[in-house]
Chains A and B, each alone.
Chain A
C-alpha cells in the first residue's frame, strides 16, 4: 500500500502509538524463559556470598568465631563488622537520614539481621560455612510494640544515646525517631470540639511485604586492572545506587557501572540499599573476583524492606447532614530497628498528608511519630507512592466509620463531600495542589455499573434471611474512592539523598528511521519498553515497533531517579515526550529545507511534515531521518537526537472508584469475592491493555494484603510468616475476576496528560476489600476491625457479635 492512499487515522494506527493496546515486547523473551535476571549472570571466577543471620530479635553479639568456617575447603573469607570498620563500611547511611549496620556491630536489632558474610567458591559451600560460624549472643529484652517501645527503658539504638535531635527534628524518647506535623492543629481541634458529629477510630494498617517473585541480589565485579567496579543488581534506582556506592566506598563515580538487568518485580522492595550489596562489593574488592549474592525467600521476607505498619488514630468531624468539616490523624509508625524508610528526604512519612483523600475537607491536621522496635527496617512504598496506601486506607475507613455514626449510606456520604470538578486545581488542607479530577462522574459511573441500589436491596434481603436462619452467609459491599499523589517529583521539594527527583530520556534516531531511546528509570514488569516507545511513536511518527528502549545501565542511560512511586510515566514519560518534541522541532527545520519552504510553512501530520495548504507535498519522518545523516543542511548540525531532563512542575493525582462485593461465611470466616469493579482515571491512557494488566496485578496484591498477607512477629520478635506457606500470595484459585473501567481526566501540567496507574489498584483495592468485610457486618454492629481479614479474624468478628449462638 502506498502511504498516500492511507488516511491519517490509518497511518496513526499503524504506528501503534498512544492509545494502542500494543502487545508487550518484553513478553517475547519472558515467556520463552530468555529473560536475564541477576541470578542468570555468571562471570568467570565468580564467588558466592551468604549471610550468617541473627536468630534473635535483640541481642548483644559477644563474639563471632570464624575458625571452623574458614577451615572448610572452598571458603575464601568470612567478613564481620570488625573487618568492615577500618573501611568505615560496617554502617551505612539510610535513605531516611538514619544509619544502619551493614554487619552486626556489637548487637542485633531484629531477627534475620546480618551478622557475618561468608564468601566461598560455590553456593553450597557458602551455605555450609554459614552453619559453621559460631556466634555468641546474649539475649536482650525485645520490643515489638511501638507504643510499648515509646515507654520502655530498654534502649534499642545505643549508638544514638544522648542524641536528642534526629534527621527530622527533636527526638522525644530514646526509641523515638521523629515527629512530622502537617496542617493546622489548633484549628482542627477547635472544629472537633464544636462539630455536630465526631467519629473516632484507630485504623491499623498492618506490616506486610512487597515479596517480589525475584528476591534481591547482586553481582559485584571489581576489575583490578581498570579499577572499574561493575555492579549488577535488582535495583529500582540504578543511578542513585551508583552515586550512593561512590559516596560510601570512595570509588570515583565514573569508575562505577551499575546495571539493573531484567527485574522480576520490585514493588518498592528493591529501592533501598542492603547489606548484601555492600558486602559483595567489599568482597569483590578484597578478592579481585566477582561475587554474587542472592537472597532466598525467607531472607527476603525477614530482612529486606517491609511495608506499612502504621497505627493511625483518626477523628473526623461533620455536620449532622454529613458535610465533613475537619480531619485529625495521629500516626504511630513502626520503623523497626533502623529508619530505612524510603521517602523523599523532606517527607519522613512520605505523602501521608494526602490523607484528606478525594474529599473537600477544609481543615485538617496530621502528626506522625516514627518509632524504633525490634523488627526489620524498611517502610517502603509497596506498590504505592510513599505512604499513599496508608493514607487512602485511613480516609476510606474513616468515611465508613463516619457513615455509621451518621447512619448514612457511605456512597452518598462520599458524594456530598467530593471535591467538585470545578474546584481543580484544588488546594488541600494538608498542602497539596491536586491537578485535575472529576470524582462525581467516576463515582456515578461506578455505582451504575454495579447496580448499587440493586446490591443494597439484595443485601437487605440477605440480612433478613440471615436473621430468619435461612443462610449463614453475609453480603458485603466495599466502596472506595481513592486519590493518589504520584510522580515524585518537583526538584524544589523532592529529593533522595540530595538527588533531585527529575527523570530523563535520550532519543537517537537512526538514519533509516528507526530509533533507540534510553531512560533513567527501570522497568520491573511495568512494560516500559512497550509504552515509552508508544509515546515516541505518537510524538514523532515512527512506528513503535521500530523503537528500541533501554534502561538500567548507568554507563549508557541518562541519569534518573528510577522506578517506584508510579513516577515513571509522570516524570520519565514526560521527559520522553519532551525529548521527542525536540526531535520533531529539528525535523521540522529539515523538512522545510527539503521541501524548500520556510520552517513555519510546514505542519505536522501524524508521521510527516506537509506544506501548509498542500498536503501532497510532504516529507515523512523516515525521509527526514535519512536526510539528517546524508545532507549538509545550512545552519543545522547533522544527526537527529535529543535528550530531556524533566523536572515536573507538580505531582499527578490519579484517582479511581472501586467496588467489591463479597460473600462471607460467618461460621468459618471464609470469604469469596463475587464481583470486583475497578474504575481508574489515570489521565491519558497510553496502552489500555497494559493498564488493565497493571490493575489486575495490583488488585490481586491488594486482595492478598487485605485478606491475609502479613509479616507477623511473636512477642520474642520471631517472624511467624517467613515462608509462602504462611505469607499469603493468592493463587489463580483465590483471585477473583475483575471488571475494569475508566474515565479520562488528563493532567493539565503533564506533556501528554498522563498520570501513572501501576499503583492505583493496590492503593484503591485494599480499602475496597476491607470495607466489604466491614460492610457485611455493619448491620450487626461492627464499626472497626483490623486487617488482615483472614479466616480466623473474620470468624472473631462474627463471634464477637454473638453470631455463633
Chain B
C-alpha cells in the first residue's frame, strides 16, 4: 500500500499544467481529489514519474447556474454538488446521485472532473452526464475542444481525452420545467460502487436513460430513451437490457446483474414519472 516515487507539481493555471503534461508525456498524470488515483498508486497499478496537482488552479473551480445551462468547473467537489443551492433546484438529479457516491470523506475531496475523466465504469457521474446530455470541455496544447458525454467513453479507462489534455469544465443543459428526474442505485454498502444504477429523465414528451457499472463504459441508450419517451416502459427496459453487457464479479453473476438492472431502471422510471408534471 505504498506508492512508487514520483515528482510533485502544483501549477497555478491551466496553461502551465498542460506545459508539464507536454514536457513529461505519458510519464505525467494530473491528480484532482485523488480518491480514484491514489488507491491505484498505492496498489502500484498506476505508476507515474510526475503528478500534476490541479488544486491550485482557480480557473477549474466554481459552479455557474444559468437559465439554460449549468457549468461546473472540473475541480468542483462532490460535496459542493450536494450543498450548492442553485444547482440543487436547477438539476436535482445531480444532488440525488452525488449523495449516493462513496461517503462524506470521499466526497469532500473527490471532484466531478476526476469522476468523469477517470473512465472507471463504476463511477456514477459519467452515466448521469450522459443522461443529462452534458458536454465536456478539454484543453490541450492545440487549444480547447468540446466532446459530448455520450461520445466520450471508449472502454474502461479509455476516453476521448488525449494524454496532454485536461478536462476543464462541464456544461449541462438545464432540463425543462416539468421534467422528472431520478437516480436509483443498488450497492452492497455505503462506500460501494453500484451493483447497478439508473439515471432517468422524462417529461415533455422526451426521455433519457443511462446506466452505470453494467458494461465497460456507461450505457446511454437511444432506443431505450425513445421507447420511454413514447411511454413504453417495457420497451425501454428491454432496449436497455440489450445495450448493457455486465460481467460477473464479487457483486454477483451476470443474470443477477441484468435482473437488478431492470429493477433499478423501473424504479427510477417510476420515481421520475412521479416527479414529472
Contact = CB atoms under 8 A, between A and B. Distances in A.
Interface of A: 123-124, 127-128, 131, 296-298, 667-670, 708, 712, 720-721, 725-726, 728, 730-731, 733-734, 790-792, 795-796, 799, 804
B5 A795 contact: no
Interface in B1-17: 1-2, 4-5
Given A131-B44, A804-B259, A733 B190 contact: yes
A354 B260 CA distance: 41
A712 B263 contact: no
B44 to A, nearest CB: 7
A379 B259 CA distance: 37
Contacts of A795: 252, 256, 259-260
Given A124-B2, A795-B256, A720 B250 contact: yes
B191 interface: yes
Contact of B260 (A128, A668, A720, A725): A668
B2 A127 contact: yes
Contacts of A728: 188-189
B5 A667 contact: no
B55 interface: no
Interface in B29-65: 44
A721 B188 CA distance: 14
A-side binding surface: helix, strand, loop or mixed? loop
Contacts of A725: 191-193
Given A128-B5, A296-B1, A795-B260, A733 B250 contact: no
Interface string B234-269: 000000000000000011110110011001000000
A791 B103 contact: no
Given A795-B256, A795-B259, A790 B188 contact: yes
Contact of A731 (B190, B255, B259): B190
B189 A730 contact: yes
Contacts of A124: 2, 5
B71 interface: no
B133 interface: no
12 contacts: A131-B44, A298-B1, A668-B260, A670-B186, A712-B250, A725-B192, A725-B193, A726-B250, A731-B190, A733-B189, A792-B251, A792-B252
A291 B103 CA distance: 36
Contacts of A791: 186, 188, 195, 251-252, 256, 260
Nearest to A727: B250
Contact of B191 (A128, A721, A731): A731
B19 to A, nearest CB: 29
B2 A796 contact: no
A712 B256 CA distance: 19
Contacts of A297: 1
B251 to A, nearest CB: 7
Interface centre among B5, B103, B259 (most CB of A within 10 A): B259
Contacts of B5: 124, 128
Nearest to B266: A667
Q: Which 10 A-B pairs have the closest CB atoms?
A: A792-B252, A127-B2, A296-B1, A733-B190, A792-B256, A731-B190, A726-B250, A667-B263, A795-B256, A734-B189
A241 B60 CA distance: 56
Contacts of B256: 669, 791-792, 795-796, 799
Contacts of A726: 250
Nearest to A730: B189
Contacts of B253: 792
A712 B250 CA distance: 9
Given A720-B250, A791-B260, A792-B251, 17 more contacts: A124-B2, A128-B4, A296-B1, A668-B260, A670-B186, A721-B250, A725-B193, A730-B189, A734-B190, A791-B251, A791-B252, A792-B195, A792-B253, A795-B259, A799-B255, A799-B259, A804-B259
A721 B44 CA distance: 18
Contacts of A796: 256
Nearest to B193: A725
Interface of B: 1-2, 4-5, 44, 103, 186, 188-193, 195, 250-253, 255-256, 259-260, 263
A613 B193 CA distance: 74
A226 B195 CA distance: 59
A796 B192 CA distance: 21
A376 B145 CA distance: 52
A792 B250 CA distance: 9
Contacts of B260: 667-669, 791, 795
A297 B2 CA distance: 12
A795 B251 CA distance: 12
Contacts of A733: 189-190
B105 to A, nearest CB: 11
Interface centre among B44, B251, B263 (most CB of A within 10 A): B263
A204 B227 CA distance: 46
Interface centre among B4, B188, B253, B255 (most CB of A within 10 A): B188
A731 B103 contact: yes
A123 B2 CA distance: 9
Contacts of A804: 259
A549 to B, nearest CB: 34
Given A128-B4, A791-B186, A668 B263 contact: yes
A796 B252 CA distance: 10
Interface centre among B2, B189, B190, B253 (most CB of A within 10 A): B189
Contacts of B251: 791-792
Contacts of B259: 667, 795, 799, 804
Nearest to A50: B2
Contacts of A790: 188, 252
B40 to A, nearest CB: 12
Given A128-B5, A298-B1, A795-B252, A668 B44 contact: no
Nearest to A792: B252
Contacts of B4: 128, 131
Contacts of A667: 259-260, 263
B196 to A, nearest CB: 9
Contacts of B190: 731, 733-734
Nearest to A726: B250
A734 B187 CA distance: 11
A19 B111 CA distance: 51
Contacts of A131: 4, 44
A670 B195 CA distance: 11
A668 B250 contact: no
Nearest to B255: A799
A708 B103 contact: no
A523 B2 CA distance: 30
Contacts of B250: 712, 720-721, 726
Contacts of B192: 725
Contacts of B2: 123-124, 127, 296
Contacts of B188: 708, 728, 790-791
A728 B189 CA distance: 8
A10 to B, nearest CB: 47
B109 to A, nearest CB: 17
Contacts of B263: 667-668
A72 to B, nearest CB: 11
Contacts of A670: 186
A791 B188 CA distance: 7
A531 B147 CA distance: 65
B186 A668 contact: yes
A730 B192 CA distance: 11
A123 B189 CA distance: 33
A127 B2 CA distance: 6
A792 B254 CA distance: 10
Contacts of B186: 668, 670, 791
A708 B253 CA distance: 15
Interface centre among A669, A708, A728, A796 (most CB of B within 10 A): A669
Contacts of B255: 799
A731 B252 contact: no
Contacts of A799: 255-256, 259
A344 B260 CA distance: 47
A670 B188 CA distance: 8
